[in-house]
Amino acid sequence: MDAEGIGLAVAASSNDRTAHGVLAICTRCAHDNRRLPAPIQRKRMIRAADRVFEHPEKFLCAVVPSIGAARLAVSLLGHPAHALATRAALGWDDGTDHAEKTP
């Protein structure tokens, strides 16, 4: 999944609280998850986070030093003025210039 296909970004910690990160959920999965009752949504997200922290190289995930840093990154991803810079800082930048070009 590329950074453009992100439907939801969440801050998460591993079960033993030693790893923290920002996890990207694709648009389709985020939409499917929203249709479920809240307790089931939470269980699915916990299982997904566990899988991501076991093999972060397989997923769009950025491991960060603390849960606070992860929460800050998720907040900045949701802010239009900071989203591109945050994606670049997380290593999720695709290398293209998304800024509008003026003649």
Q: What is the pLDDT at residue 3?
A: 55
Task: Mark 31-55 as b/e (b = at least 16 C-beta within 10 Å).
Answer: eebeeeeeeeeeeebeebbeebbee
Please answer whether residues 22 and 70 qualify as being in contact, where contact means their C-beta atoms are separated by less than 8 angstroms. Answer: yes
DSSP line for 80-93: TTTHHHHHHHHT--
Q: What is the pTM of this model?
A: 0.78
**pLDDT values of the chain reduced to their tens digit, one per residue, 103 residues:** 555 678 899 999 988 888 899 999 989 989 999 999 999 999 998 898 888 888 888 888 999 999 999 999 999 999 989 999 999 999 887 655 555 444 4
Please write down the long-range contacts of 4-7, taking CB distance under 8 Å and 24 or more positions apart.
4/94, 6/60, 6/77, 6/92, 7/31
